[in-house]
Amino acid sequence: WKLNDKFERTSISFGVIFSDNYDLTVLKGPEHGSEQANEFRQFWGERCELRRFPDGSILESVVWNADRTNEKRLVWMDATRYLLQMHAGISIQHVTFSDTNLMQILTLPFRLFSSYGSGDEQQLLICSQLIELSKQLRSLNELPLKIMSISGTSESVRYTDVFPPLPANFLTNLKKLRSVQRHGKFYTPRMDSRYSPPYTKSIDVLCQLEMSQKWFDDIDYIKHSKTLYYIQLATLLEQKYHYTCVPTKTCCYVLKQYYVYRLTIGYNKEIYLHETLNNKNDLIRSIKQTTESKHLRYETEYMPKLSAAIYGVSQQYVHYQSVVRIFKRWLSSQLLLDHFDSINADLICAHIFLHSAPYQPAKSILSGFIRILRLLVNYDWLNEPLIVNFNHELSKEQIIQMQTTFKENRKNLPPLCVMTLFNDKLKLEDDEYKKPTVPILKRIIQLANEALLHIETKINIESNIDSDSLKLLFRPSLKCYDVIIELNPLQCPRAYQGIDQLKDLFYIGRKQIANEEEDDDESVNSLPVVDFDPARLYINELRSSYNDVAEFFHDEFGGLVICVFLKPSVFENNVRSKDKNLSKQNGVIDINEMIKSWQLLGNGIIKSIRTFAERWPTD
């Protein structure tokens, strides 16, 4: 509009492009006494002060109080409000920002962990503790085989965990004192308790051993040797560093600074033995991949390399970790994260940062989230693979070869095919890599399109998107499901992570609880109940037993419902049973009896089960 024309709009929206350095808690200005110093002081007014820095320089500077990472991201907003009020007379109440509300979804109740913030400090602390633990593991010279490499494969180590693990000295609710019982140096759930034990998530760490002739060419012998190795590893860590360690057949749990690390052993020869089959004459050996060898190769070769590459992306782009956490939270809130696979979410988010041309990489959480939604909606998943080129290690010839391989084997590849330099030895046509399925992918694209329209409408028309509008994107629609299983909140230890947090949950630290017990040290240093989520265990049992007749959907981050979609074959069998009078042994499925078995299987966890027979086909 022209300057002389009357301006009818009541608000103006501005876009901001950030620099990579978002930490503006201390803004350094010119040297004291220089010509630019007066201009700097006039611009910043009373916020400007003179400070001496460690290098000996005395500079004009502006300091903002921000301790946690999420607060440092908001410093520029405080500075903008201050400058607009100082130079333009605009009240801070009339200035709003669209990028502030997404981080609230990643926060936890203040009364649970006041220093949690948005979880960034937790991930930094976990990684620093892991580095120290790695040095201590390498110093154990008494072990029969040396540890060649140590890799963290957990989401927390690569900074992509939606809610990083809380320290184990934080429990939920005083009444949950009786939800656990101590057996020696570890806790177990109490069967007669109304409450579930507090949720403590373990951090996966892979220890790769050196090759040796001491372990014979026998799979059973290697498995037993691993168990003995875990026992000796736990003994040495307890003797030298006084950690609480609990060895098992498959891993060794280590309690360090109230965080639980789950140590597993990788031995490359074990993969070879699983893939090698002896012929009758024992002279010729053939290589054949088995289910065990695929799983071992995925866990011991693919995941460490991929985790290291994703960790590099999170260090290169400061907003990557927040964007991927928001994206995973959105998928889980729509009950689809289990069907999408968490590693796919990490790779898709890495793609929008590594291949952002013609735009700059996303430098705010909201813009990054919008770009992911646009990628899901606009990308041709049917005809093109999504290639993630870490550190530009893939040459043009390799990329062309990947595209050619994709077109030749499209029918056998997953609907959402993500290719990297590290999955060349994996057979992506296997069932375990086919997440998400075609119906799930279509559902995600549909939801992404609706979410994108909602965000763009709020920004373009209303010039603002508040926290309530954003939370609408994280509340799922339950109208399309056939059965809804409501869970007992007392048996859901992760209820505090929900979008709509329960107000009647209270939290207290274990140190306060331990002071009321007789043996404080043993209580604090005992291994807590690890990875125990009754809702997760229940839905895993449902999927393993009833996967042929139904699909189960759940929000692992504080979800209090399990939604069930009955497959069409269930109703087809019922129709045939009415026509041919088939018995239950001949494939007839009684839906009501099946739901009763779900109720029996989830006794104590289930609050109620709602069925919607009107949604079921009648013909």
**Model confidence at 174: pLDDT above 60:** no
**Model confidence at 536: pLDDT above 80:** yes
State the burial class of residue 469 (Cβ atoms within 10 Å of its Cβ: 0-12, 13-18, 19+).
middle
Question: Which pLDDT belongs to residue 381?
Answer: 94
Question: Which pLDDT belongs to residue 265?
Answer: 93
User: Please, which pLDDT band fits residue 7 given cuts at 50, 70 and 90?
Assistant: low
State the burial class of residue 7 (Cβ atoms within 10 Å of its Cβ: 0-12, 13-18, 19+).
exposed
Element (H, E) at 503: none
**Model confidence at 328: pLDDT above 60:** yes
User: Please, which pLDDT band fits residue 250 given cuts at 50, 70 and 90?
Assistant: very high
* Cα→Cα distances 515→113, 176, 303, 520, Å: 19, 15, 42, 6
Which position has the token pair 């040495």?
Answer: 236
**Model confidence at 524: pLDDT above 70:** no
Question: Which pLDDT belongs to residue 218?
Answer: 80
Strand partners, 205: 152, 263
Q: What whole-number distance in Å separates Cα of residue 384 and Cα of residue 386?
A: 7
Structural contact between residues 496 and 172, judged by C-beta atoms closer than 8 angstroms? yes
**Model confidence at 506: pLDDT above 70:** no
Which of 3 and 167 is assigned the larger pLDDT?
Answer: 167
Structural contact between residues 609 and 598, judged by C-beta atoms closer than 8 angstroms? yes
User: Please, which pLDDT band fits residue 201 given cuts at 50, 70 and 90?
Assistant: very high
* 433-449 confidence digits (pLDDT tens): 567 999 999 999 999 99
State the burial class of residue 192 (Cβ atoms within 10 Å of its Cβ: 0-12, 13-18, 19+).
exposed
Question: Which pLDDT belongs to residue 170?
Answer: 61
Q: Taking residues 226-235, what's their average pLDDT?
A: 94
Structure tokens at 218: 């026998």
Which residues have a Cβ under 8 Å from the Cβ of 194 and sit 6 or more positions away? 490
Residue range(s) occupied by CATH 3.30.70 in the chain: 483-615
* 282-301 confidence digits (pLDDT tens): 555 566 777 788 888 888 88
* Cα→Cα distances 327→353, 376, 377, 451, 572, Å: 14, 11, 14, 12, 37
**Model confidence at 12: pLDDT above 50:** yes
Report the percent of the chain where pLDDT is more than 90. Answer: 40
Q: What whole-number distance in Å separates Cα of residue 91 and Cα of residue 397?
A: 58
Question: Which pLDDT belongs to residue 456?
Answer: 84
**Model confidence at 400: pLDDT above 60:** yes
Handedness of CA 89, 90, 92, 93 (dihedral sign): positive
**Can you give the pTM of this predicted structure?**
0.89
Which of 213 and 298 is assigned the larger pLDDT?
Answer: 298
Question: Which pLDDT belongs to residue 515?
Answer: 41
User: Please, which pLDDT band fits residue 333 given cuts at 50, 70 and 90?
Assistant: very high
* Of the candidates 511, 615, 616, the residue with the CA atom closest to the CA atom of residue 572: 616
Report the percent of the chain where pLDDT is more than 70. Answer: 84
Q: Taking residues 537-561, what's their average pLDDT?
A: 92
Question: Which pLDDT belongs to residue 177?
Answer: 56
Structural contact between residues 109 and 498, judged by C-beta atoms closer than 8 angstroms? no
Which of 45 and 8 is assigned the larger pLDDT?
Answer: 45
The type of residue at 50 is: L
What is residue 286's DSSP assignment?
A: E
Which range (195-209, 425-439, 440-454, 475-489) has the least confidence? Answer: 425-439
Which range (28-32, 113-117, 199-203) has the least confidence? Answer: 113-117
Segment of 67-76, 112-121, 321-330 carrying the highest mean pLDDT: 321-330
* Of the candidates 466, 376, 447, the residue with the CA atom closest to the CA atom of residue 418: 376
Q: Taking residues 414-429, what's their average pLDDT?
A: 76
* Of the candidates 485, 165, 119, 102, the residue with the CA atom closest to the CA atom of residue 330: 102
What is residue 462's DSSP assignment?
A: S
Q: What whole-number distance in Å separates Cα of residue 365 and Cα of residue 469?
A: 16
**Model confidence at 175: pLDDT above 50:** no
Element (H, E) at 170: strand 170-172
In this structure, the number of other CB atoms found within 10 A of the CB of residue 426 comes to: 17
Domain 483-615: state its class: alpha beta
